[in-house]
């Protein structure tokens, strides 16, 4: 493997510095107020020099989004690998706690990718694969559970033709052998996970829940029971 040139190393270092500054600005003012000029000023660079690294604010924003999705994906994948493949509840709990831990450690990046959309920004296709990484961990858990008989399978789920087509498309691409009823449960518990994290992170449980760790454990266990057994 060829070692990077001095020029490539310098470019990587400056890119990392610009991203670090952008993340601080994200924490201070949110994504909507992110400005290349402000990032350039803090980096003591002229705006034209910053444009060689990020030609537009949207390209800088895309890089921040991709990095955030990759980071939460790595957290989920790493947690899943620590568990025995047959221990589906253990895998579900480990992944759920890893996603929450990442969110609590990186609240502004979490808000960027799972919070309010940035006005005027349209995510390019570059974000699709990183955005799917964490979800694919859950999909693999469903595939494994159905294949081994560890996940309860019901014969039918009542829905529209359009939804059945959507679920069939998922089954043909990333969820082989997973029936509609299990896919729908998977989506239910996955969105519940992020809803619970968002409610905690954005303060909606304040003055309601006093022990956030225990409450999250309870909710996640119940979601896992629903996922595996079809009932709580």
Residue 39 predicted with pLDDT over 90: yes
Could you tell me what percent of the chain has a pLDDT over 90? Answer: 81
Average pLDDT, the chain: 93
What tens digit of pLDDT does each residue of 59-106 get? Answer: 999 999 999 999 999 999 999 999 999 999 999 999 999 999 999 999
Contact (Cβ atoms closer than 8 angstroms) between residue 83 and residue 41: no
**Residue 103, φ and ψ in degrees, nearest 5:** -60, -45
Report pLDDT for 6.
81
Domains and CATH numbers, the chain: 1-55 (1.10.10), 66-229 (1.10.357.10)
> How much is the pLDDT for 147?
96
Instruction: Note the pLDDT of residue 105.
Output: 97
Model confidence pLDDT, tens digit, residues 42-60: 999 988 888 899 999 999 9
pLDDT at 227 over 90: yes
Q: Where are the beta strands (DSSP E) in the chain?
A: none
Q: How far apart are CA 95 and CA 73, in angstroms?
A: 10
The CA distance from 17 to 22, in Å, is 9
Distance CA 119, CA 30 (A): 11
> What is the spatial distance between Cα 179 and Cα 131, in angstroms, rounded to a whole number?
23
pLDDT at 5: 87
Q: Which of 40, 31, 91 lies closest to 62 in space, CA to CA?
A: 31
**Residue 157's pLDDT band (cuts 50, 70, 90):** confident
pLDDT at 3 over 80: no
CA distance 155 to 179: 8
């Amino acid at each position: 493997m060829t070692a990077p040139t001095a020029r490539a190393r310098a470019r990587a270092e400056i890119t990392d510095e610009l991203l670090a500054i952008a993340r601080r600005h994200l924490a201070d003012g949110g994504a909507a107020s992110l400005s290349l000029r402000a990032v350039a000023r803090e980096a003591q660079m002229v705006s034209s020099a910053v444009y060689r690294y990020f030609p537009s604010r949207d390209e800088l924003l895309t890089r921040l989004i991709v990095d955030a999705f990759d980071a939460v994906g790595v957290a989920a994948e790493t947690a899943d690998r620590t568990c025995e493949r047959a221990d589906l509840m253990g895998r579900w709990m480990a992944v759920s706690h890893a996603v929450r831990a990442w969110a609590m450690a990186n609240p502004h990046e979490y808000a960027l990718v799972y919070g309010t959309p940035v006005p005027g920004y349209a995510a390019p296709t570059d974000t699709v694969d990183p955005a799917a990484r964490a979800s694919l961990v859950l999909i693999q858990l469903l595939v494994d559970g159905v294949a081994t008989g560890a996940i309860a399978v019901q014969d039918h789920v009542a829905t529209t033709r359009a939804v059945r087509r959507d679920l069939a498309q998922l089954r043909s691409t990333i969820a082989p052998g997973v029936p509609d009823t299990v896919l729908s449960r998977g989506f239910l518990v996955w969105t519940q996970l992020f809803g619970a994290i968002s409610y905690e992170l954005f303060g909606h449980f304040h003055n309601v829940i006093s022990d956030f760790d225990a409450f999250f454990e309870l909710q996640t266990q119940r979601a896992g029971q629903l996922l595996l057994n079809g009932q709580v």
